[in-house]
């Protein structure tokens, strides 16, 4: 008989029982790739590494007469490193909208989740996905959509929450190790899951239980973490932050998000790191964490997707 004793309760995300069972409470609604009737965006799934396994969902916009290749967006989903998927309904809807609005090709990475696969496994899976993407630079990779219409000289990394954390780590790794065949033009961090050992801004006003949840989750998904000022948690303590490979960075924060101050702090740290690019912080008033995923048809979400697309296309939209 299965034990009902709880070892870790991270509701409303997941519960872990003392017998080892893991009950994910969110992110379980998966959806098949499709030709989206609303946007004309087509998607399909690919296996990147059967051994791991690492996979991805690829999106391409409605065909046009445009003869040139399109920018490539590599997207990392959120979910605290422990729930959600590139194939979930939240992210499928979001990528359909973003790909149509920005007119880009997108690769949405599906990495392995904690606690079965604690960090840094999500980072390693994401790096493997990037190496797979880069293998298409000469037009001879395994995926025809990337060979035919993706411009690997115009690559953007993006992610929300934990996915934004991953996107930042990948941009740093490209800057420190290099990745031949892939030219990272921009980095989009949406409501990034960063934290630190010292509260900043108005974080002292947060509900103590909320703060505790944020902090305990880090130790849950990465048991070997050195503390809340570990570089993967707190970019201000990352000696390699100035090696971010992107020439432009957009940090998106939401006024009612508990992680809001961390986005502003990240931009300040990036400016002081010796990095030579341009960083902007764009704050959405009156909204909470990943509001655009929960209410994708709201005026605020539609406007938000427009801002993401504008950044990718080299525009600035207030």
Q: How far is CA 38 from CA 71, 96, 100, 122, 304, in A?
A: 22, 9, 10, 32, 18
Neighbours of 199 (CB within 10 A): 13
267 is catalytic: no
Q: How many whole angstroms separate alpha carbon 64 and alpha carbon 44?
A: 19
Q: How many whole angstroms separate alpha carbon 223 and alpha carbon 88?
A: 26
User: Which is the catalytic residue, given 77, 92, 94, 289?
Assistant: 289
257 is catalytic: yes
User: Which is the catalytic residue, given 161, 230, 238, 267?
Assistant: 161
User: Which is the catalytic residue, given 55, 191, 257, 267?
Assistant: 257
160 is catalytic: no
CB 191, CB 290: distance < 8 Å: yes
Q: How many whole angstroms separate alpha carbon 32 and alpha carbon 92?
A: 9
Neighbours of 117 (CB within 10 A): 17
CB 312, CB 71: distance < 8 Å: yes
CB 124, CB 117: distance < 8 Å: no
Three-class SS of 153-186: EEEEEEEECHHHHHHHHHHHHHHHHCCCCCCEEE
By CB neighbour count within 10 A (0-12 exposed, 13-18 middle, 19+ buried), where does 226 fall?
exposed
| Residues designated catalytic | 161, 257, 289
């Amino acid at each position: 008989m299965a034990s009902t004793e709880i070892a870790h309760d991270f509701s409303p995300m997941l519960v872990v029982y003392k017998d080892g069972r893991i009950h994910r409470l969110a992110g379980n609604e998966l959806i098949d790739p499709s030709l989206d009737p609303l946007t004309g965006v087509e998607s399909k799934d690919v296996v990147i590494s059967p051994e791991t396994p690492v996979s991805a969902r690829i999106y391409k916009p409605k065909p046009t007469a445009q003869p040139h290749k399109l920018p490539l967006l590599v997207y990392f989903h959120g979910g605290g490193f422990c729930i959600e998927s590139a194939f979930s309904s939240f992210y499928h809807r979001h990528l359909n909208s973003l790909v149509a609005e920005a007119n880009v090709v997108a690769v949405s990475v599906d990495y392995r989740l904690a606690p079965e696969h604690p960090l840094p496994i999500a980072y390693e899976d994401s790096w493997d996905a990037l190496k797979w993407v880069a293998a298409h630079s000469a037009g001879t990779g395994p995926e025809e959509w990337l060979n035919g219409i993706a411009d690997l000289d115009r690559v953007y990394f993006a992610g929300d929450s934990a996915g934004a954390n991953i996107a930042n780590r990948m941009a740093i790794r490209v800057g420190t190790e290099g990745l031949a065949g892939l030219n990272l033009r921009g980095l989009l961090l949406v409501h990034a899951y960063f934290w630190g050992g010292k509260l900043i801004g108005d974080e002292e006003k947060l509900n103590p239980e909320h703060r505790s949840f944020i902090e305990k989750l880090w130790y849950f998904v990465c048991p070997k973490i050195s503390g809340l000022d570990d570089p993967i948690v707190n970019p201000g303590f990352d000696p390699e932050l100035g090696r971010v490979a992107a020439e432009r960075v957009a940090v998106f924060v939401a006024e009612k998000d508990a992680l809001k101050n961390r986005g502003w702090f990240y931009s300040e740290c990036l400016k002081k790191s010796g990095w030579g690019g341009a960083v902007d912080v764009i704050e959405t008033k009156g909204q909470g964490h990943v509001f655009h995923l929960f209410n994708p048809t709201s005026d605020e979400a539609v406007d938000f997707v427009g801002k993401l697309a504008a950044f990718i296309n080299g525009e600035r939209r207030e």
